Amino acid sequence: MPPRRPANLADLSVPLPPPRPVELSSPLAAPSAEGGAPAPQANAAVAAPEAPAAVVAAPAPPSRPRDLAASLALVVPQIQNPALPVLQQAAPPQQAAPLQQAAPPQETRPPAPAVAAPLRIDAPLPPARPRSLAALTPAEQPATEKNPAPAVPTPQAPAAASAPAQQVAALSEPVLRPAPEGSFNQPDQPPARFNMGAPVYIRIFKKEGELELWLKHNGRYALYRSFPICKWSGRLGPKLREADYQSPEGFYSVSARQLHPHSNYHRAFNVGYPNAYDRQNGRTGGLVMVHGNCKSVGCFAMTDKGIEEIYGFVEAALAGGQREVPIHIFPFRMTEAAIARESSEGGFMSFLATEPSEGARWAGFWRNLKEGYEIFQQTGEPPTAYACGDHYSFDAAGASCKRIAGW
């Protein structure tokens, strides 16, 4: 049983601990030689009134052990003194050394089972397969029974049967035929390159329904493209008066004043009807156009895509220095056989004629147009037409003739 704690700690006569030196390294006061009492210290604490006169020197505190077991060995003997617990409560606690954390137990794994080495059997290799079964000698061929059973077809049988057909030696090699003579003697002729702004020439054929766009390349006109005409009104023959729903025929010119970029029919340009020849012969009317929108009454209607391309070349040529663009309108391709056929009573669209001899009426006029048509076919240059009363002239005209010009 531990001793009973007194009611008042002041009534307990217990020697006070020695004062703590200023420096821990300084030694405690040693007993004197005469009486064995310790020498007074400079910084000694003043005793309390309740403390007894005699002061007993306490031994120095033990040094800090290196391990916990040594520390317990020093503390256990002091617990036997009943007055020591009271003193230990008043003294400041000392910081214990941190305990070392025990290392976690290592996981033990069972040893891996030993893998048995693969069993190797020295078996004989199969014989090599010959390239051809016919190459086997009679000694090497396997013996067969006297009455062999019929063989059942297997999926490999067709492959074995088709194997001889894959021999390259049995196939016939293709025969290379030589190129025709003179194929490589012709000089290379790259396609013509037409530039925007080159001189332009236009021909229209009413019966064939075509508009030819010619561009000048290397000093000579070359056909750029033929455009189909969506619609033209009337019949074969020239336009005579206004509102007769007839398309004109003859030689005309287009200047920059005749362009209509903001037409109600996409793009348009006026062909120049009536020209000097039409006026000399009393023909009336006007506003004959080549335009888009693919519909027309008395004009030459093209597709919007077609007129876009045609108009672009015409505008560029006039802006590039060409004064006028000649546009020649023919009833058909002007040959003598075509004139004879169309001038007869059974000609093209003759059922629309108001008189039985309507086609024959224009035979002389068509032969006059044929003269300008042949000049271009022979020279490659569109002729300069002059209005000379009742006919067109294509040479140096006199004072009575007037050149066909634009506005």
> 202: which strand partners?
213, 327
**Overall average pLDDT of the 201-227 stretch:** 96
The answer to whether position 128 is within a domain reads no
Least confident of 15-19, 124-128, 350-354: 350-354
The alpha carbon torsion through 197, 323, 330, 337 (nearest 10 deg) reads -90
Percentage of residues in the chain with pLDDT exceeding 70? Answer: 51
The angle, 0 to 180 degrees and rounded to 10, between the axes of the packed helices 363-379 and 336-343 is 160
Q: Of the residues 291, 294, 328, 401, which is catalytic? A: 291
The answer to whether position 164 is within a domain reads no
List the structure tokens of 281.
């012969």
Higher pLDDT, 335 or 174: 335
**Overall average pLDDT of the 332-355 stretch:** 75
Summarised one tens digit per residue, pLDDT across range 235-265 is 999 999 999 989 999 999 999 999 999 999 9
Residue range(s) defining the domain that contains residue 316: 200-403
CA angle 103, 108, 111 (to 5 degrees): 155
In terms of Cα–Cα distance, which of 209, 172, 193, 181 is closest to 330? 209
The answer to whether position 30 is within a domain reads no
**Strand runs labelled E in 237-365:** 250-254, 259-263, 266-270, 289-291, 300-301, 325-330
Mean pLDDT, all residues of the chain: 74
Q: Quick check: is 266 catalytic? A: no
Q: CA 251 to CA 406: how far, in whole Å?
A: 11
List the structure tokens of 254.
């287009």
Q: Quick check: is 299 catalytic? A: yes
Q: Indicate the SS3 state at residue 226.
A: strand
Higher pLDDT, 109 or 176: 109
Q: How many domains does the chain have?
A: 1
Q: CA 263 to CA 310: how far, in whole Å?
A: 15
In terms of Cα–Cα distance, which of 5, 7, 14, 28 is closest to 87? 14
The answer to whether position 268 is within a domain reads yes
> 394: which strand partners?
none
The answer to whether position 250 is within a domain reads yes
The answer to whether position 297 is within a domain reads yes
Q: CA 356 to CA 326: how far, in whole Å?
A: 34
Q: CA 144 to CA 151: how far, in whole Å?
A: 13
Q: How confident is the model at residue 129 (pLDDT cuts 50, 70, 90)?
A: confident
Q: Of the residues 266, 299, 328, 401, which is catalytic? A: 299
**pTM beyond cutoff 0.85:** no
The answer to whether position 343 is within a domain reads yes
The answer to whether position 245 is within a domain reads yes
Q: How far is CA 281 from CA 239, 247, 276, 278, 371, in A?
A: 11, 16, 9, 5, 19
Q: CA 215 to CA 193: how far, in whole Å?
A: 10
Placement of tokens 């009492």 in the chain: 37
Q: What is the CATH number of the domain that holds 313?
A: 2.40.440.10
